[in-house]
Amino acid sequence: MASFEPCRAKMEAEGIAQSAISAFESTFNSLVSGNTGMIPESTITPVPELVHTDSITAKPNAGLLAETVVLKLNGGLGTGMGLDKAKSLLEVKNGDTFLDLTAKQVMCMRKDFGENVKFMLMNSFSTSDDTMEFFRTKYPSLAAEEGLEMLQNKVPKLDATTYEPAACESDPSNEWCPPGHGDLYAALIGSGRLAALLKSGYKYMFVSNSDNLGATLDLKILTHFADTNASFMMECCERTENDKKGGHLAIRNSDQHLILRESAMCADEDEKEFQDITKHRFFNTNNLWIRLDKLQEIVEKFGGFIPLPMIMNSKTVDPKDDNSQKVVQLETAMGAAIECFDGASAVIVPRTRFAPVKKCNDLLLLRSDAYVITEDFRPVLNPACGGVAPVIDLDSKKYKLVGALEEATVNGCPSLVNCKRLKVKGVVRFGRSTRFVGSVSITNTSDESKYVSGKIEDADLDLSAETGLGQLKPTVVKSGPINGQKPGTSGLRKKTKEFMSKDYLNNFVQSVFDAVIAGGTNVSEGSLMIGGDGRYFNDTAIQTIIKMGVANGVKRFWIGENGLFSTPAVSATIRERGPVWQKSFGAFILTASHNPGGPEEDFGIKYNTQNGGPAPEYLMEATYTNTTTIKSYKICEDFPTIDINKVGSTTVTAEDGSTSVVVEVIPSTESHVALLKTIFDFDAIKALLDRPDFSMVYDSMHGVNGPFSKAVFVDELDQPESVLRNHIPKDDFNGGHADPNLTYAKELVKTMGLDRTGNKIETDGPIPSFGAAADGDGDRNMILGSQFFVTPSDSLAIIVANANCIPFFSTQGGLKAVARSMPTSGAVDLVAKDLNLDFFETPTGWKFFGNLMDSKAVFKGKDYTPFICGEESFGTGSDHVREKDGIWAVLAWLNILAAQNNDASKPLVTVEDIVRKHWATYGRNYYCRWDFEGMDGPGANAMMDKMRADTAANTGRVVGSYTIATADDFRYVDPVDGSVAEKQGIRFLMSDGSRVIFRLSGTAGSGATVRMYIEQYETEKLDQPVASALEELTKIALELCDIKTFCGTETPTVIT
């Protein structure tokens, strides 16, 4: 006989409570002993009449509420309906989910009863994160209540042959399964909640499923339960023809206990009597009333658990792979505990207390006008239905999954209030104008969904030959996972040829759509933005995404003129462009940022959400998971190619007139430039630019910022086009590397009288007073004065120190908070301390700044706006958008220069003057970054691992004239959402405040980039060459990392 010991060891290693282990051992022993879990008809007797709650005359006793706890079972993912999140997060009605209505029921109950009735949830390991995030965001007062969540246990799946714990190397989480809602008792015991509730004076518990919104705390039923002194009470309904395949209540002949017999416990030869609703009249609604003190007595009687009948299900270890290992999953049902309680009882309740959603039939009915929501937030049958719910019979093969129902009702749910029966065979679509009356049967044998509109009364329709969607008809194309599609903080970047290979782009885009839709975004409402930095393959990718968007339900698109959108412009347009009903819900940005472009170089894609910022980590994780399991993608292959080079609108209407899609090509610069004009003093900037002793040049490096620089400097500030350099976007950035630094912005750097190390050189002509450069997608900036380079770290600190001269900050009462990425120098820290601003050091990645910006608006936390943030990698911005913004930083500098030069009769205050004055005030952070690009990945990782392993040994070590005060791997706990970011960079923090930092970045298909940061703070020696000031520390840094051994070089590709 198989041993339970491997299961015990696995569960103990996972930290599972002893009560759960004991309960699982009981069901396991039942399995290996040969017990099938069957309950023969010969061993039971039908239950006679039960008390109907409508006949209860006892006066409701409100005093019992103080002793009562309400618990909702919320462990189900709804995998049977194609869901991979908490089923209770499905929308039910009017934008409310099951959890919304549950929360509102609880708050309404407390108000009506005048008693703060205790409320609990039992979540599973699969639903906990989604559920608690939902409550923290929408119902923070409930989320903050002590003991809101109790976690369901998990148990091993068992090999179907050996009964040993199953293994799944591809995803170890698949080795576990929920133990069924019978785990309620083990969870109460193992978590200590049962003991805590009893100690706090709680005596009664009402339990129901989260998808049964009809099950609310009924004071009359509670009073009956208390008055009858029952130990356990089950709410039952009378079985109908629709319920005959479900379980029923019975009396066990051997001890006259009430028991529950489920369909899986019925032998084939007993099936006829099992389904006889005149014999076995009552079924369990899973609304249960439990005496907690009696539960404790039973637990003690059986040694720490309740022995429940076994339910065995045959599955595969990977639910998405039918060919994976065959397993059995052992479950128990909480209602089955009725047989363990002496003095257990049952009552009949009206159907209004039983409205669960198990199939798409139920969900369609609940969402339709056949149900209405009461003042206390219960869904009840519409009185116009005459007390009889319509019978819905959707094609079980076509509408097994919620996604199919969502597609069928994308234009609205049909009216069912006057319908008696609706049967659908095949795929169809409805709308708000669709009204079913009487008995209706619809058949569609074609492979294309057909539209049903208007009033349909007592009809038998065959839509097989009817007109369909035409150019809007989606096609499902078979595909399969492609390795390496895990997006980073800046999206997915690979070689262009890889993106152009079969299904590569399509797979990723479909995976994003699936994640976005599963996350609750209705893509049929609002607009989807698409645009990029203009690199090679941009135009083709846009057309593909449009066609896939239509197939996935998008009804409106905003495409940047010529296919162009800078990354900050996308964020600005999402946040600023209206009208409200067209607001963008998200955007695909086609960029690899500062990476080279062209057919032999890099391409990239990222998704931004409705706040204008990059997709949060959970969404990108869901996207990646989807790429590993994808089987097909949707595309409207016949959708016409859109002329994206001309501003205008194209409407494509379905042949059957059921729907239409609008593709609007919009001016790329419009929303962003309009926003910038509200932030800065354009009149003051223009006055500066018009001074005869001031000149400037802005190099767009043939990236996307060319049109934006023209819109700002030529069209708005009335400057000659000669101030612009390389402002015509090219799909290969004219063969250059559109990265605004001293190495790659060669033309600008030379014009400004500098070499690639920042040293002065002789020039042939006059040197402009001010120079700036942008990268490929317009989110980065480099600031230069005449023969003077401003480091990004200094630039950030100086903008913060002078923020009050910028209207955006001064008119809002001044700056409140600043943040920098961890590798960025500490120059801004000194300013923040001096100005008493909230300060944050974050990992690299704009999403961390975005959280701080949205602390109040999204997370209901402290308001940190107005807010400025930046990174040493030439990224600077504020809370006007949720991306770094290159042209914003340029205008910020010009606004500061204008404020310093408001008297044209005085000599020009230069960029160098402002920087040196700042150093004199705050000291100078000598700073340098070395980039080793194209390094061997394994070697670079090994180098990082070695430094990580040596952090403890290096702490306290003396190296040259420095002492390493701390060596660590940077870890960040987000103060807004509590998320934790690990392994964000190796830090060597010297006792004098100097720093050496190492980070690894894999930006595309071009190998790994090792970044080495060196920083030395000085208050007196402010005029040293950077290389000289950092010479010793640089040598120490190279020795600490030993990059020559691991990567074969000590020569950087780029020095900044």
pLDDT at residue 918 greater than cutoff 90: yes
Q: Got the DSSP string for 38-52?
A: ---GGGEEE----EE
Q: Is the pLDDT assigned to residue 826 strictly greater than 90?
A: yes
Tokens of 245: 């395949």
- Structure-block tokens of residue 389: 């719910």
Mean per-residue pLDDT for 33-58? 90
Q: Residue range 576-582: average pLDDT?
A: 93
Mean pLDDT value across residues 56-85: 86
| The pLDDT of residue 224 | 97
Is a pLDDT exceeding 50 seen at residue 834? yes
Q: Is the pLDDT of residue 1003 over 50?
A: no
**pLDDT digit string, tens, across residues 972-982:** 998 988 888 88
Confidence of residue 178 (pLDDT cuts 50, 70, 90): confident
Alpha helices in 181-335 (DSSP H): 184-190, 193-199, 219-227, 271-274, 292-301
pLDDT at 1006: 57
How does DSSP classify residue 280? Answer: S
Nearest-angstrom CA–CA distance, 494 and 1004: 5
Show Cβ contacts of residue 651 under 8 Å, excluding neighbours closer than 6 positions: 660, 661, 662, 663
Is residue 310's pLDDT more than 90?
A: no
Lowest mean pLDDT among 244-258, 461-475, 699-713: 244-258
Say whether pLDDT at 80 is over 80.
Answer: no
Please determine, for residue 604, whether its predicted confidence score (pLDDT) is greater than 60. Answer: yes
pLDDT band of residue 264 (cuts 50, 70, 90) is confident
**pLDDT digits over 339-359, tens only?**
999 999 999 999 889 888 888
Active-site annotation holds for 593? yes
Question: In angstroms, rounded to a whole number, what is the distance separating the alpha carbons of residues 401 and 1000?
Answer: 42
Q: Is 778 exposed, middle or buried (0-12, 13-18, 19+ CB in 10 A)?
A: buried
Mean pLDDT of 38-51: 92
How many C-beta atoms lie closer than 10 Å to residue 409's C-beta? 20
> Is residue 932 pLDDT above 60, yes or no?
yes
pLDDT tens-digit readout, 682-691: 999 999 999 9
Q: How far apart are CA 937 and CA 68, in angstroms?
A: 59
866 prior amide bond cis, ω within 30: yes
303 — pLDDT class (breaks 50, 70, 90)? confident
**What's the CA gap between 100 and 554, in Å, rounded?**
26
* pLDDT at 242 (0 to 100): 73
- What does the angle CA 285 – CA 379 – CA 81 come to, to the nearest 5 degrees? 65
Q: Would the pLDDT of 299 be above 70?
A: yes
Helix (H, G, I), strand (E, B) or coil at 1003: coil
Over residues 809-831, the mean pLDDT reads 96
What are the C-alpha distances in Å from 1036 to residues 10, 376, 1050?
47, 69, 12
DSSP, collapsed to helix, strand or coil, labels residue 822 as coil
Distance of alpha carbon 887 from alpha carbon 586, whole angstroms: 22
Structure confidence at residue 1002 (pLDDT): 62
Residue 330 near residue 155, CB atoms below 8 Å = yes
Tell me what the pLDDT averaged over the chain comes to.
Answer: 93
Two tokens, residue 672: 């962003």
- Reply yes or no on whether the pLDDT at 193 is more than 70: yes
pLDDT in tens, 101-132: 999 999 998 998 888 899 999 998 888 988 99
Residue with tokens 């479909």: 510
Q: Which residues contact 881 (CB under 8 A, 6 or more apart)?
A: 568, 571, 572, 575, 612, 675, 888
- b/e sequence 151-164, b meaning 16+ C-beta within 10 Å: bbbbbbbbbeeebe
- Helical H segments across 302-355, by residue range: none
Q: What type of residue sits at position 156?
A: P
Q: Containing H/E element for 851? A: helix 846-853
- Residues 470-477 have a mean pLDDT of 95
Residue 914 pLDDT > 60: yes
Phi, psi (rounded to 5 degrees) for 819:
-150, 150
Sign of the alpha-carbon torsion through 754, 756, 758, 760 = negative
Predicted pLDDT at 908: 97
Query: Which residue of the set 124, 593, 769, 795 is catalytic?
Result: 593
pLDDT value of position 1004? 43
Which two three-digit tokens encode residue 328? 């059995």
Task: Count other Cβ atoms within 10 Å, centred on residue 221.
Answer: 21
pLDDT band at 559 (very low <50, low <70, confident <90, very high): very high
